[in-house]
């Protein structure tokens, strides 16, 4: 009996139904690479906004006063004077305020300090202020000057008693509305009813009322008084302090009106009537409260004002 023959498959064996081998891939961690869109936005922002602009916030923060340093080191009074400026931006207004506060706190009867506040802040926000003490000669005690006779109050002449002088006649014939005679402590005013005279106070020794021809710049009712740095220094020497401003009212040294004549000089009222007739001001012309009302109500901007030392010196104008 013949058995059937079997065919042999000589093809190599290839397993079927086996899973495909996975291709190698990168290991994924918590830090993923930013997408290309994000990189594009970053590059665009750097091109549009340079680093100088991106650092504006840091620059503004560095302009804040964080500490003070004096060169040379000063006493605690100077630090206490500018302590309210701590934490503020270093602006021109802050520089001026610091200088005025230091001048007032360092003032001495013998001399004045020099204060330099032009320095800038360092990277730590520290502001170095340079202080220069008065010269050695200025620190020596000074003898009080003898009070001149001209500084004592003078009894005023009668309002209707006009001076018999050529200079006064010259002023009468001029277009000037006001004549101020320092030596006589007298102000003469042309009014619709005629010429009137008033007692005044003038500048003291070292702050004499300047002579010359001037004109009225403005007439201000109910003025506000702002003491200058020099006034703060004078007050500090006396052991006193002045406010930054004095609003209109009975305690205002300018009184009810201020007539500006330019260069910080003016005619105004006063809250100290006892000083009328003396040389006590810092250059301005003081008048009694009732007298300044008449003068302020008569003068207008542009009116002429003559200020002379005496009637005999009018020809020098």
pLDDT recorded at residue 197: 94
Distances (CA, A) of 16 to 12, 13, 19, 21, 22: 12, 9, 9, 13, 17
Distances (CA, A) of 257 to 89, 249, 289, 293: 37, 11, 9, 7
CATH topology of domain 155-316: L,D-transpeptidase catalytic domain-like (2.40.440)
Cis geometry, peptide bond prior to residue 72 (ω within 30 degrees of 0): yes
- pLDDT tens string, the chain, 317 residues long: the values are 566 555 555 555 555 555 555 555 544 445 555 556 555 555 555 555 444 433 333 334 458 888 888 877 766 777 887 888 888 888 888 888 887 777 777 765 555 677 888 888 888 888 888 887 765 544 444 444 444 444 444 454 444 456 767 788 889 888 999 999 999 999 999 988 889 999 999 999 989 999 999 999 999 999 999 888 888 888 888 888 888 889 998 889 999 999 999 988 999 999 999 999 999 999 999 999 999 999 999 999 999 999 999 988 887 77
pLDDT recorded at residue 293: 94
Q: What's the number of CA atoms in the CB half-sphere (13 Å) around residue 210? A: 9
| Tokens 């009975």 sit on residue | 250
| Residue of 54, 105, 48, 45 whose CA lies nearest to 80 | 105
| Tokens 């009074």 sit on residue | 77
CATH topology of domain 61-139: Ubiquitin-like (UB roll) (3.10.20)
Domains of the chain, residue spans: 61-139, 155-316
pLDDT recorded at residue 55: 37
Specify the DSSP element, H or E, that contains 195.
strand 194-203
170: helix, coil or strand? Answer: helix
> Is this model's pTM higher than 0.85 or not?
no
pLDDT recorded at residue 59: 39
């Amino acid at each position: 009996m013949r058995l059937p023959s079997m065919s042999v498959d000589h093809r190599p064996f290839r397993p079927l139904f086996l899973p495909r081998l996975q291709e190698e891939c990168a290991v994924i961690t918590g830090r993923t690479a930013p997408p290309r869109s994000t990189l594009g936005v970053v590059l665009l922002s750097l091109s549009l906004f340079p680093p100088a602009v991106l650092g504006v916030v840091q620059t503004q923060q560095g302009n804040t006063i964080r500490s003070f340093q004096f060169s040379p080191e000063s006493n605690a009074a100077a630090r206490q004077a500018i302590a309210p400026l701590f934490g503020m931006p270093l602006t021109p207004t802050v520089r001026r305020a610091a200088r005025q506060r230091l001048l007032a706190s360092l003032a001495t009867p013998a001399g004045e300090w020099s204060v330099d506040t032009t320095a800038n802040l360092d990277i730590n926000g520290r502001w170095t202020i340079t202080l220069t003490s008065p010269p050695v000669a200025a620190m020596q005690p000074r003898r009080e000057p003898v009070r001149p006779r001209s500084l004592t109050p003078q009894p005023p002449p009668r309002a209707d008693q006009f001076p018999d002088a050529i200079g006064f006649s010259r002023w009468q014939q001029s277009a000037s509305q006001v004549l101020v005679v320092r030596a006589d402590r007298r102000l003469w005013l042309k009014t619709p009813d005629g010429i009137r005279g008033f007692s005044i106070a003038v500048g003291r020794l070292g702050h004499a009322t300047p002579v010359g021809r001037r004109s009225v710049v403005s007439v201000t009712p109910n003025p506000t008084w702002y003491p200058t740095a020099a006034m703060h220094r004078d007050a500090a020497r006396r052991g006193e302090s002045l406010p930054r401003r004095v609003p209109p009212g009975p305690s205002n040294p300018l009184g009810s009106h201020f007539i500006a004549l330019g260069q910080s000089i003016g005619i105004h009222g006063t809250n100290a009537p006892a000083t009328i007739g003396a040389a006590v001001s810092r250059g301005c012309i003081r008048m009694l409260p009732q007298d300044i009302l008449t003068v302020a109500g008569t003068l207008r901007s542009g009116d002429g004002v003559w200020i002379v030392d005496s009637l005999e010196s009018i020809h020098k104008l």
